[in-house]
Chains A and B, each alone.
Chain A
Amino acid sequence: MATIVGGIATSHIPTIGKAIGKGWCNEPEWKPFFDSYKPVHAWLEKVRPDVAVVVYNDHGLNFFLNNMPTFAVGAAARYDNSDEGWGLNVVPPFAGYPEFSWGLIESMVADEFDITSCQEMLVDHGFTVAMGLLWPKEKGPCPVRTVPISVNTVQSPLPSPARCYKLGRALGKAIEAFDEDLRVVVVGTGGLSHQLDGTRAGFVNKDFDLLCMEKIVTDPEALTDYSIPDLIRLTGAQGVEVIQWLVMRGALTGQVSKVHSRYHGVISNTSAAVMVLENSCADERHAREHVLQEHL
């Protein structure tokens, strides 16, 4: 059976992608930021995942409003990045794992999640910037196969934090039910607080970011009490991307240990942060499942 080694939450700010592309990680302005991913690399080298399930949001590269899924799961052998229109370098393709993707989709649909399956799928900076941070190309070829899961953060109505957390729980169950000896890391990308649109553009809420970073470890259910309008108000219109962190967290067990955590302050328009959570054993999940059921 597959094992979830843990979860990673990380921002996916395009400017970071630009810095990666330019090789700026030792520039004084960027070094503290990139250095904060060294403990992440050390942890990944320790736990050696075979697969990364990457929960992100598409910003208008693969999905358009003519066919806009709430939850889309990739089931391709290869995921290409492509021109997003505003100048970010296109990065090389990522390896998929379609058999594993189908295992996840089957399990999640059986659990009454209405998944959109994608046998061809372009991945945008929401996916690629996170991958570039976790597995920098300087360290050699990317050692993991991937399953991208895109969450709708474009078209209201967005899925609620509670629904996203439940998707995560179904995802965790699906991963652990997959009948191969795999080590899986679940990545949630996006956030934290930021807003690009409107007269409140530039909005940042450090207090709420820190609250999210605390609760995501110890009490993720507390975050599921927020509605999407609550989140927009508290973390900015685009800060709602934190719902992807909730999917990641839902896939882990009730108890996790925090391996690493860093809040960076604002990069470009967005609060940047990274966290690594190590998973408890699966038995723990099953014991907790009952309690969660009552809460949600």
Chain B
Amino acid sequence: MKWGVVRFPGSLDDGDAIWALADVMGQEAFILWHKEESIRGAECVLLPGGFSYGDYLRTGAIARFSPIMKSVAKFAADGGLVIGICNGFQILCEAHLLPGALTRNRTLSFICERVHVRVENASTPFTRAAHNGDVLRLPIKHGEGLYVAPEDELRQMEERGQVVLRYVDASGRESDDANLNGSTRAIAGVANERFNVFGLMPHPEHAVEPMLGGTDGLKIFQSIAQGPR
């Protein structure tokens, strides 16, 4: 599968995404410069982590207007696969390609830690290689990962299975302590209604090598590599 990794000014985990996809997994992955108009035949667009435009004003608020985002939106509208990790998730929310928004962690501080997330819906193109209830160990590293959305919308999202990942403890149980950033309903990752756009705060690209915190992140990328359903 061909992966296009968008590089915004202030993107930081773009190189890590390329490393995970190309060097570790042997996939074809290339950088899409934010000023480009085309996604150049990418079959999955990845919006990486970082502090695009310094995350000034609101995280992802300014990056959303980069030229490349027009074609990303179009690609998504046509059913193309788009994944946003951390800052990428924030950008997708700001661009209204995903519901909700991400705000200041309840600790009001940046949190860098390996956490556990439970796969709530393994039938999406992003989680297919896992099973419902699987617990993945992935790192989070963000200051604004507290997921919020209007209650009624949350209810619908749950019904439709759009809540794809939830923070849990190592044994897979929900607990307040496991929900470090204080996200509503411990939400760590969500998909759109069509299940072709996915955003998550944890970093799968930082969990692809045994010596660097395990390989659970591969599950996400392997799912996507199976292509759109």
> Do A and B come together as binding partners?
no
**Residues of chain B having any CB pair with chain A under 8 Å:** none
